[in-house]
Amino acid sequence: MTKGDGQGRVGFAVLARAPGFLRLWAVGGLSNGMRQFEILAAGLFTFQVTHSGLAVAVVSACRNLPMFVFGALAGVVSESLDRKTILAVAQGVSACASLVLAGLAFAGMLAPWQIAIAALVSGTMWSTEGATRRRMLGEAVAPALLARAYAFDSLTNALVRMAGPVGAGVAFAALGIGWAFAVAGACYLAALILALGLRHSQVRARLELGRVAGDLAEGWAYARAHPAIAGSLLVTIATNVFAFSYIALVAPVAERGFGVSPAWVGVLAAGEPVGALIAGLWLARFGPPFAGRTVMVGGSVLFLVAIALMPRMPDFALACLVMIPGGLGSAGFSAMQTALVAGAAPPEIRSRVLGLLTVCIGGGPLGILALGALGHWIGDRAAMQVMAWAGLVVIAGVGLRWRRRERAGAPGVVAPLALLVPNDVRYDIKRDSP
């Protein structure tokens, strides 16, 4: 195998030649960028109107809550319905939600509760991301390029997570909330056009509503029985609950704690994505430097340490800088979570397992709400620290358990051993022929 086939250095041009990869990559960049853009813009508007960190947390949680509720179901449905259609509908509905908010803002009628409802709608569409676009992205490239493809996708996500908050802060300060949502709506429409141009074919299973519960149970049993999948899911839950939830209090911490303007709030929010961009460039070009488990767990730990330190920095510049190493960690975590799960799951159950991953990511709202409540009781800075240190304890425990279970299996083989269930648990995958 040559370097261009997946070993050694693999440039973006190699991946871009894969059919459909470029469009799927661009759709992800646009939609995820606008998601980050809207989360911060909504947080700034809500904080300006209510002066409540808890209210900001509730509005932010509405964006991710549908992933927790519908993520697993999306995994089942995407095995039976056309994934291209699901992807296009998601972009179209998100565009409509953003443009409606823009219209309300221009009419002077916008309120935080309306933003929360729109966030629930757009979040429901986003809950299909893992089982549709991310799966399609992995299927567009050769198996040897799978980790690099997801690394490039994570790199792009880091870039838009950096640009999105900065753009939202500037747009909010200079143009107002109406134009901020108008920009988001236009970008979703561009993503819709890209999605409609995809050439996609898939083998579909029959969708039987009576079997949905059984299909979900099969996916869960398979996930529990594989250390790489079970470990990835547990680390994903912990990282989203205890780490990524920090974004909900960035606006209150920056404005109240460091005394900066809304435009600078986006700079603090962009600190972590800057580090993620740097690490993503390395991972996309050279691949993971360690085993996937080490990169994922170690990355989460580094991310949480940065979050614990950031609120107590003596000035705003240091707070921004300390989040850059945290971004190095979040990039390692993000690059491996989908690659480990997708690589360990066979095609006939992959969407269901990726749907479970979406549910785990969707656990973030629980952390956001907990963070908001803690901030109300003990202060924004202290709340962020408490959540970060609690997350470190949880992830350390999961990482040690994952390591023991993998070592109990045959070297180099994904052994059917559960992280949290007895070794005699068995699974059986059954799907009807299309």
Tens digit of pLDDT for each residue in 53-111?
788 888 888 887 887 777 667 766 777 788 889 999 999 999 999 999 999 999 999 99
C-alpha–C-alpha distance, residues 191 and 213, integer Å: 32
Q: Tokens for 40, please give them.
A: 């911060």
Inter-CA distances, 346 with 88, 139, 293, 341, 349, Å: 25, 12, 19, 10, 6
What pLDDT score does 142 carry? 78
More confident residue, 168 or 158: 168
pLDDT digits (tens, 9 = 90+) for 41-67: 998 899 889 988 788 888 888 887 887
Q: Tokens for 358, please give them.
A: 């979406």
Distance of CA 228 to the CA centre of its chain: 19
Side-chain half-sphere of 407: how many Cα atoms within 13 Å? 6
pLDDT digits (tens, 9 = 90+) for 308-363: 999 989 999 999 999 999 999 998 898 788 778 877 887 777 777 777 787 788 77
Q: Are 10 and 288 in contact (CB under 8 A)?
A: no
Place of tokens 């980790």: 147
C-alpha–C-alpha distance, residues 205 and 352, integer Å: 12
pLDDT digits (tens, 9 = 90+) for 402-413: 988 888 763 333
CATH architecture classification, 10-408: Up-down Bundle (1.20)
Name which of 202, 242, 240 is nearest 350 in CA terms.
202
Q: Residue 422: is it exposed, middle or buried by C-beta count within 10 angstroms (0-12/13-18/19+)? A: exposed
Q: Are 351 and 129 in contact (CB under 8 A)?
A: no
What long-range pairs does 402-410 form, CB within 8 A, spacing at least 24? Answer: 402/227, 402/230, 402/231, 402/234, 402/235, 402/293, 402/297, 403/293, 405/227, 405/230, 405/231, 406/227, 406/228, 406/231, 406/293, 409/227
DSSP H/E element including 164: helix 146-174
DSSP state letter for 133: I
